[in-house]
Amino acid sequence: MKHHVCPWWVGYFLMSPLRRIYNNPEKILNSYVREGMTVLEVGPGMGFFSITLARRVGKSGRVYCIDVQEKMLRSLRRRAQKANVMDRLEVRLCSDTSLQIDDLINTIDFTLAFAVVHEVPAQDNLFRELYSALKKNGLLLMAEPKNHVTDEAYHTSLAIAESSGFRIEGTPAIPKNYSALLVK
């Protein structure tokens, strides 16, 4: 997976306040995440969505942030401490071949995979792990950047998700992204 991964220093550009103009976390997550939920965020980077997720789940909820790059996770931890939401986050380093979330089977209400699926060469394994982690009727919001991912590659990822058991619930409009709401 590492040969496909966005370099850690690009994370600073992804945290730009200008990004909120077209990828506003509150607007994107508002319909899916609420108080008390258990959320899994795959590839959070430096936490562009993580802080919003932590605020939305509240003190009774939990957000698991899983990434393959320790430098990204260190920055995420600092930002979460500063935002006073670290008590709601569990930040984990995964391996190149697995999210290492066997302890989360059937516990997740909502999963966010934003601009990360295209970086994973073994997408079949990724979607199997995500499917296993979700509760029955749990949701996965997948968004892939149109400037990095071809229409064909995006639809291949969707087909892999469906072969893993997911059903396409909808296609939310997220500017500059292909997107799908998948349900277990």
The confidence score (pLDDT) of residue 178 equals: 97
The confidence score (pLDDT) of residue 7 equals: 55
**Residue 1, token pair as written in the block:** 């997976």
**Residue 126, token pair as written in the block:** 């990724």
The confidence score (pLDDT) of residue 21 equals: 62
The type of residue at 112 is L
> Tokens 């500017």 sit at which residue?
175
The type of residue at 52 is T
SS3 123: helix
The confidence score (pLDDT) of residue 126 equals: 97
In the chain, what are the domains?
34-183 (3.40.50.150)
The type of residue at 146 is K
SS3 11: helix
SS3 90: strand
- String of DSSP letters for 26-88: HHHHTTT--TT-EEEEES-TTTTTHHHHHHHH-TT-EEEEEES-HHHHHHHHHHHHHTT-GGG
In angstroms, the Cα distances linking 59 to 44, 126, 164 are 20, 29, 32
Q: Which helix (H) or strand (E) holds 114?
A: strand 108-114
Per-residue pLDDT of the chain (184 residues; tens, 9 = 90+): 334 566 554 444 555 565 566 688 889 999 999 999 999 999 998 788 999 999 999 999 999 999 998 988 998 999 999 999 999 999 999 998 899 999 999 999 999 999 999 989 899 999 999 999 999 999 999 999 998 899 999 999 999 999 999 999 999 999 999 999 999 9
Cβ neighbours of residue 7 closer than 8 Å, sequence gap 6 or more? none
